[in-house]
A and B are shown apart, each in its own frame.
Chain A
Amino acid sequence: MKPTTIAAYLLILFPLFAFSNSISATGINIHKDRDSAMRALDQTEGKRLTDELLTHLNQQSATLSVDVLSRFSQRSDVSKIGLEYAFWRLAKQAPGKLDPAVLDYLINYHSEVRMSHPESAHSSLPVFNIRAAAAGAKQLQQRQQDLQIAKNLEQQPEAFLQHYLETVPVSQTALRVAALQLSAPLQAKLLESSLQQLKNSNANENHRAALTDLSAGLAFNQAGTAPFSVIIETAEKRRLPELLKNIFTNLIDTESKPLLYQALNREPEIAAIAIHYLAEIAETDQNVYTDLLVWLGEPNLGAAAALALSNSKRTNVHADLIRITASPQPDAARYARLTLSLIADSMAEDQL
Chain B
Amino acid sequence: MKQIFQFASKSILLVAASYLLVLSNAVSAAPHIANWTEAPGELGLGYPVPLPVNTPVPFDGFRSYNGLRTRHFELASTTEVVHRIILGRTQFGVNINAWQLGDADLLNNEGLPEAATLTNGGIHAREWQSPETVTAIMELLAANENDDGFYRYLLDNANILVIPSLNIDGFQQTQRYPRKSWIETDPDDPLTSPRDGRMRRKNMNGVDNALSTRADHLFGVDLNRNNPPFWASSNRSSANGSSIVHHGNSPHSESETQALAFAATFAPEDRLRMYTDVHSFSQVHFWHNTGNQRLARNTTAVLQLFTDFQAAFPAGKFYAFNQANQQSAQGGIGSTDEYFAETYKIPSWTLEIEPSGGDHPGLPGCGADYGGLATNCHDGFILPESEIRRVRETLAQSFTMAYYKQMGAASVRRVRIFDTASGAVVYAADWKADSATSRVLHQDQLENLVPGREYQLWVAFSKPMRWRNSNGRIVTLPGQSVTSLPVQLKWLADEQTLSTNFSTPTWHNQPGMAPSGYLAYRDDAVSVSFTITDTEANRQLIDSATEFTLSQQTRDLTGDLIDANPATVVDWNNGGWSFLENASGTMGDQGGADQSLNVSISNTASEATQLIDSSFTGAWPDFNQDKQGLLLEVLEDNKAVIYWFTYDDEGNQRYLNAVGNISGNRIVFTELYETRGGRFSSPGFNPELIKAGQAEIIFNNCDQGRMDYSVDSRPGHLDLSRLTSLMGHHCGLPAPATPVREEMLLSGAWTNTDAGNHGLVLEVLANSSIVAYWFSYDDQGNQRWFFGVGVIEANELVFDQMYTTNGGLFGKPANEAPADLLPWGTMRLQMNCVDGVLSFDTNGGTMANGMFSLDRLTFIKDGSCPAN
Residues of A that sit less than 8 Å from B by CB? 5, 8-13, 15, 31-35, 38-39, 107, 110-111, 116-123, 125-126, 129-136, 139-140, 143, 168-170, 173-174, 176-177, 180, 209, 216-218, 220-223, 237-238, 241-242, 245-246, 248-253, 255, 268-270, 272-273, 275-276, 299, 302-304, 306-307, 310-311, 334-335, 337-338, 341-342, 345, 348-350, 352
Contacts and interface: CB of A to CB of B under 8 A. Distances in A.
A118 B186 CA distance: 15
Contacts of B234: 121
B382 to A, nearest CB: 13
A125 B358 contact: yes
Interface string B174-196: 00000000000010111111000
Interface string B53-94: 111111111000011011101100110000000000100111
25 contacts: A13-B326, A15-B327, A31-B235, A35-B186, A35-B190, A107-B364, A119-B350, A121-B236, A122-B330, A129-B365, A132-B358, A132-B368, A132-B374, A174-B22, A222-B12, A223-B10, A250-B1, A250-B2, A268-B57, A273-B57, A302-B74, A306-B56, A341-B77, A342-B69, A352-B93
A31 B244 CA distance: 13
- Indicate the size class of the contact surface on chain B: 35 or more
Contacts of A222: 12
Given A125-B358, A217-B16, A12 B22 contact: no
B359 A345 contact: no
B361 A132 contact: no
Contact of B60 (A223, A241, A251): A241
When A and B form their complex, which 6 residue pairs have the shortest distance between CB atoms, in order from nearest?
A352-B93, A136-B374, A135-B364, A135-B368, A269-B59, A272-B57
Contacts of A34: 189, 192
Nearest to A170: B46
B664 interface: no
A220 B330 contact: no
B12 A33 contact: no
B6 interface: yes
Contacts of A209: 386
B370 to A, nearest CB: 9
Contacts of A122: 286, 289, 322, 327, 330
A136 B45 CA distance: 9
A43 B235 CA distance: 26
A307 B365 contact: no
A129 B377 contact: yes
B51 A245 contact: yes
B589 interface: no
Contact of B39 (A173, A251, A335): A173
A306 B70 contact: yes
Interface string B700-718: 0000000000000000000
Contacts of B93: 349-350, 352
Contacts of B6: 252-253
B451 interface: no
Contacts of A307: 54-56, 66-67, 70
Nearest to B377: A129
Given A131-B368, A338-B74, A12 B66 contact: no
Residue in B57, B371, B372 with the greatest tally of chain A CB atoms within 10 Å: B57
Given A170-B373, A241-B60, A245-B51, A116 B358 contact: no
B733 interface: no
A241 B63 CA distance: 11
Contact of B359 (A8, A31, A268): A8
B95 A348 contact: yes
A13 B320 contact: yes
Contact of B55 (A135, A136, A269): A269
Contacts of A218: 16
A176 B282 CA distance: 32
Contact of A342 (B73, B236, B361): B73
Contacts of B16: 180, 217-218, 220-221
Interface stretch (B331-339, B496-504, B691-699, B743-751): B331-339
Contacts of B868: none
B539 interface: no
Contacts of B39: 173-174, 177
B374 A12 contact: no
A59 to B, nearest CB: 28
A126 B284 contact: no
Residue in A135, A177, A253 with the greatest tally of chain B CB atoms within 10 Å: A135
A32 B189 contact: yes
A136 B189 contact: no
B110 interface: no
Nearest to A238: B60
A272 B16 CA distance: 25
B333 A111 contact: no
B57 A168 contact: no
Contacts of A220: 10, 12, 15-16, 19
B617 interface: no
B46 A249 contact: no
A349 B66 CA distance: 13
Given A8-B359, A9-B361, A337-B77, A250 B330 contact: no
A256 to B, nearest CB: 9
B47 interface: yes
Interface string B269-290: 0000000000100101010110
B38 A251 contact: no
B549 to A, nearest CB: 41
Interface in B241-268: 245
A73 B215 CA distance: 44
Contacts of A303: 56-57, 70-71, 74
A132 B366 contact: yes
A273 B55 CA distance: 6
Nearest to A187: B16
Contacts of A245: 51, 53
Contacts of B515: none
B332 A121 contact: yes
A334 B318 contact: no
A185 B69 CA distance: 47
A326 B40 CA distance: 55
B55 A272 contact: yes
A121 B331 contact: yes
Contacts of A250: 1-2, 5, 10, 15, 18-19
Interface in B324-380: 326-328, 330-333, 335, 350, 352, 356-361, 364-368, 371-375, 377
Contacts of B377: 129, 132-133
A280 to B, nearest CB: 9
A338 B352 contact: no
Contact of B286 (A123, A170, A252, A342): A123
B48 interface: yes
A120 B224 CA distance: 10
Contact of A119 (B71, B186, B279, B364): B279
A123 B284 contact: yes
B780 interface: no
Contact of B364 (A134, A335, A348): A134
B318 A9 contact: yes
B315 interface: no
Contacts of A176: 20
A346 B289 CA distance: 41
